[in-house]
Structure 1
Amino acid sequence: MRILIHDFSGHAFTSTLSRELARRGHEVAHVFSSSFLTPQGPNERRADDPDNLQLISIKLDQPIDKGNLRKRRAGEIEHGRRATQVIREFKPDLVLSGNTPLDAQRMFLDHCEQAGIPFLFWVQDLIGQAAVRILRRKVPVVGGTIGKYYQSMENRLLERSRKVVVISEDFRPHLPAGVKPENIHVVENWAVLDEISVKPRQNEWAAAQGASEGLTYVYSGTLGMKHNPELLVQMAKSLQSVPGAQVIVISGGAGLEFVAQRAQELNLGNLKTLPFQPFEQLENVLGTADVLMAILEPDAGVFSVPSKVLSYLCAGRALLLAVPPENLAARIVAGREAGIVVPPTDTEAFVRAGMELAQDANRREQMGRNARAYAEETFDIRRITDRFLEIFESALAK
C-alpha cells in the first residue's frame, strides 16, 4: 500500500505511525511543515529508517506568522499548494491528513477526489468551531462571519471525506449530519513511549541548566497568550517560599516573551525561560521535572487534547493541569490519579495545587507511577498501527 500521511504540525507521535507502517512493508510518505513554530518530533531520517519511508518537509520562504491572521492564512495556503504537489507526485493509494489548516485540507481533498484517491480526515480539533469563537473575539464585527465560513467549509470537507478519524468519542455529536456513522472511527492520540523513558532527576540536561538540585516545575510546549501564561508566573512567585525551587518554561513566541518579561518585572530569579529543545533531549527535559505543567484555553472544551500532556504521562512525573474539566486530557489525568486538574481561569487554585505537590514527595512519586502505567497500557504503536490499517483497508474497499 502507498500511504501518504500529512501532519502539518510535525508532531512526534504521527511520525511513529509512519515509521511503523514502513517497517511493515508499506510505501510511506510522511509530510509536515517546517515553517510552523511548534515543538516537532524526530522528522529527520534515521539510520534505521527503511528505504520505503520518505520524510518530506515543506519549508516556505518565511516562517508562518501565527500573530498575523492575513499572513498566517497566506502561509497556510502556500503550504497547501506545495503539499498538494507532493501528493500529486507520490501518487498514494490513500491520504490521511490531520492537524491541517482548512484551506490546505480543502486543496488536498480536491486533488484526491479528482485523482480517485481515498481521503481520510484525521480530526485533532474542530478548527471551524474554534474559528467562530476566536475570530469573533479577535476581529470585531466581521470575525464571526469569517469563523462561520470556516465552520461551513470544515463541515463540507468532513462530509466529502472517505473516512473521518477522530481522537475521542466526544467528537461524534459535533460532526455534521452528513458524515455517516459507519465512516467515523475513533483512535485516541498517543505519545512516543519508546523514546520517552523515565529518566533520573539528575541527568545531563538538568546539569546543563543548573537544575539537578531543588524542586523543579517544567512547562514544555506551545504557549500563547490565550493559554494564560500568568499562571506560570504566579506559580514561580509562590515557589519563592520553597528554598531552591524553580520553574522552567520551554516554548517560543509571544507567550514565552510574556513570561520572560514578567520574570524581570517581578525579579523572579527562580523563573527560567528557554526556547524549544531538540526532540532528542525531550526525555531528559521532562525527567528534570518534579512536576510537569500544562495549560489549555478555557474555550477549548472537550476537543483539543494537548500532545504535551501525553508526552508528560510517559515521563513518569506528577502533572499539574489548568484545563477545562470536561477535556479528555483532564479526565485521563484525574481518572488515573496522575496529577491535579484545576480550571484554567482559577489562578489561586493552580498555585494552591502546585504548592500542595511541593509539600508531598510521596504523592508526586505515586502520581508519576500512575502516569507511566497509563502510558504503557495505552501507547502501544503496534496496536495503534493495526487499528489504522483496519481503517485504511475499509476505505480502500469502497
Structure 2
Amino acid sequence: MRILFHDYAGHAFPLQLSRSLAARGHQVRHLYCGSTLTPQGELERRPDDPESWDIRVIDLGEEIPKTKFLKRYGMERRYAGLLAEQYGAWRPEVVISGQTPSIAQLPLAKLCRRDNVRLVSWIQDIYGIAAQKMLRKRLPVVGQLAAAHFIRIDKRCARMSDALVVISEDFRDIFLRWGIPDDRIHTIHNWAIIEQLPVGQRDNSWSREKALADGMRFVYSGTLAMKHNPELLLQLAKRLGNEEAGEMVVISTGPGVEWLRQQQAKHPDAAMKLMGFQPFSELENVLASADVLVAILEPDAGVFSVPSKVLSYLCAQRPLLMALPAENLAAKIVRESNAGLLVAPDDIAGFCEAGMRLAHSPDERAAMGAAGRAYAEANFDIAKITDRFEAILSGQCG
C-alpha cells in the first residue's frame, strides 16, 4: 500500500508503527507538525530505516499557542492547507491520521472522500468533547458555542472515515451514538517502544550531567498543559524539602513549568529541579534516574486522554505515583497491574501522602516497578500491533 501516515504530535510510538509498516514493504510517508510543543520521537531517518519510509515536517514557523484561541484557530487552518498540499503531492492509496486537530482533520477527510482514498482516523482524543470540558470553566458562553462547533466537525470526520482506531473502549459508545457502525470501530491501546527503553541504571551519564541529588528522586517527564495541575508537583516538592526526603525533578516546557518557576522563587523550601524537554535519545536514562515516576491529569480530562508518558514509565521498571481520574485508561492499567499508587486529581494531600509512602517503602517500590515492566513486556509487541493496523488499513478488518 501507498500510505500517508499523519501523526500530528510526532510521538515516538506512531513513528515506530510507520517504520514497521514500511519494513513490511509498504510505501510510507510520515508527516508531523513542527509547530507544537510536545515530547517527540526520532524524527530523522536512521541508517536502518527502509528505503520505502520517508518523513516530512509541516512547520508554520512558530509555535501554535494552546491558550490564545483565535491565533490557534488561524494557525490550525494554515496547517490544514499545508497538510492538504502534502496529501496531493504524495497521492496515497490509504491515509492514517492521528492526534489531528478537528480543523485540519475535516479538509483531509473531504479529500479522501473525493478521491475514494481509504481514511483511517486514529482517535487519541475527541477534540470537541475535550474543548467542552476545558472551556466551560474559562469561557462559559463562548466556550460552549466553540465546543459545539468542534463536536459537529468531529462527528463529520468520524462519519467520513472508513475506520476508526480508538485507544480505549470508552470511546466506542460515543461513536455509536454518532451513528458510526460498530464494525468500523477498532480498539488498539497505545504502547511504548519497549525495545528502546530497557531497564537502566539509576545513576547514569545523564543524571550525573544534570547533577541530580543523591536522595530520593521523583521524576515528572512530559507535557504540563491545560489538562494538568502543577500545584500537585509543587506541594510534593515542598513536603520533600521540609522532610529532607528527596527531590522533585520536572522535565517539561510551557505555562505549567513557568508557573512552577515562579513558585520556586517564592518557596525556597521546595526541593524541585526544573528543566526543559530532553532529547528522545536520553529518555532511557531520564526514566532510569528516577526512584518514582509521576503523572498527573485534571478531573475534566476523564477517559478522553491517556498520557503516553505512563506507558513509557511502565517500561522503566519504576513505581508510578499518579493523580488521575479513576476511569482513565492509564489509571485502570496501573491499578490492575499493581504498578503504582493512584489518587484523585484534586487530592493534593493524598498525593503527597502517597509520595511519602513510596519514599519510605523500597520493597513496595521494587514490586510495583517489576509489575509495570511485566505489563509492558506482555502488551507492547510491535509485530502484533502492526498486524492489527495493517489489517485495518487494507480493509480486511471491518
Deviations, residues 239-261 of structure 1 (Å, cap 9, x unaligned): 12444611110111110011111
Are 2:83 and 1:83 equivalent residues in the alignment?
A: yes
SS at match of 1:227: coil
SS at match of 1:49: coil
Instruction: Name the structure 1 match of 2:376.
Output: 375
Pairing 1:186-265 to 2, within 5 Å after superposition: 186-211=187-212, 213-243=214-244, 245-265=246-266
Instruction: Name the structure 1 match of 2:102.
Output: 102
CA distance in 2, matches of 1:108, 1:43: 22
SS at match of 2:141: coil
SS at match of 1:142: helix
Unaligned runs of 5+ in 2: none
CA distance in 2, matches of 1:177, 1:114: 22
CA contact (8 A) 2:106 2:156 kept: no
SS at match of 1:309: helix
CA contact (8 A) 2:320 2:339 kept: yes
CA distance in 2, matches of 1:158, 1:382: 27
Instruction: Name the structure 2 match of 1:43.
Output: 43
| Paired letter, 1:113 | R
CA contact (8 A) 1:58 1:82 kept: yes
Instruction: Report the CA distance between 1:269 and its aligned residue.
Output: 5.6
Instruction: Name the structure 1 match of 2:126.
Output: 126
CA contact (8 A) 1:125 1:303 kept: yes
Deviations, residues 231-285 of structure 1 (Å, cap 9, x unaligned): 0001111112444611110111110011111111110362010001100001100
CA distance in 2, matches of 1:302, 1:224: 17
SS at match of 1:9: coil
Instruction: Name the structure 2 match of 1:15.
Output: 15
Q: Which runs of 4+ in 1 moved over 6 A?
A: none
Deviations, residues 366-386 of structure 1 (Å, cap 9, x unaligned): 111111110010000110000
Pairing 1:65-80 to 2, within 5 Å after superposition: 65-80=65-80
Q: How many aligned positions are there?
A: 397
State the TM-score, normalizing by the size of structure 2. 0.97
Instruction: Report the CA distance between 1:135 and its aligned residue.
Output: 2.4
| RMSD of Structure 2 on Structure 1 (CA) | 1.4
Instruction: Name the structure 1 match of 2:145.
Output: 145
Instruction: Report the CA distance between 1:177 and its aligned residue.
Output: 3.4
Are 2:323 and 1:316 equivalent residues in the alignment?
A: no
Instruction: Name the structure 2 match of 1:34.
Output: 34
Instruction: Report the CA distance between 1:226 and its aligned residue.
Output: 4.0
CA distance in 1, matches of 2:245, 2:160: 56
| Paired letter, 1:13 | F
Deviations, residues 53-78 of structure 1 (Å, cap 9, x unaligned): 01111111221111201111111111
CA distance in 2, matches of 1:373, 1:252: 31
| Paired letter, 2:240 | L
Unaligned runs of 5+ in 1: none
SS at match of 1:110: helix
Pairing 1:163-202 to 2, within 5 Å after superposition: 163-175=163-175, 176-202=177-203
Instruction: Report the CA distance between 1:138 and its aligned residue.
Output: 2.2
Instruction: Name the structure 2 match of 1:56.
Output: 56
